[in-house]
Amino acid sequence: MSTTEMLVERRRQPRFKVAEGVFAALVNHSSKLGQIKDISKRGLSFRYIDHGGSPGEASELKIIIGKGGLYLDKLPYKKVADFAIRNEHSFSSLHMRQMGLQFGDLTRQQCARLEHFIRNHTTGEA
């Protein structure tokens, strides 16, 4: 069974494709910023450029809407996956990775904002 099949089977909530221009940011001394690929009430996945080095654990997860700025911050999370993805352009020297995050215990306000985000900034089920 492939890693992708194992991830799909574990999901308890439907995942939704996120509109262009929405980013996840893990903030610490070596921050990561990347385009959110999909999201659910329990977690999200995003793609980012691998700059190498040891990343360390980020202390904060933020969701940023390109045109609207910070949408949600200080989200508790646990990293559940982080893997290299094949570059679609063989001439590019960029190394891309995809990270899957599971949300921790969200406050009522964070849950409400997350549900609003899913209703207004996604483009259908992933």
Q: pTM of the full predicted structure?
A: 0.83
Q: What pLDDT does 53 receive?
A: 61
Half-sphere exposure of 95 (CA within 13 A, CB side): 7
Q: What pLDDT does 87 receive?
A: 73
CA-CA distances (angstroms) from residue 113 to 70, 74, 76, 94? 12, 13, 14, 33
Q: How confident is the model at residue 107 (pLDDT cuts 50, 70, 90)?
A: very high
Distance CA 24, CA 32 (A): 8
Q: Which is more confident, 59 or 116?
A: 116
Q: Which CATH number fits domain 3-125: 3.40.50.10140, 2.40.10.220, 2.120.10.80, 3.40.50.1970?
A: 2.40.10.220
Q: How confident is the model at residue 89 (pLDDT cuts 50, 70, 90)?
A: low
Q: E-strand spans in the chain?
A: 16-18, 22-27, 32-39, 43-49, 60-65, 69-75, 77-85, 96-103, 122-125
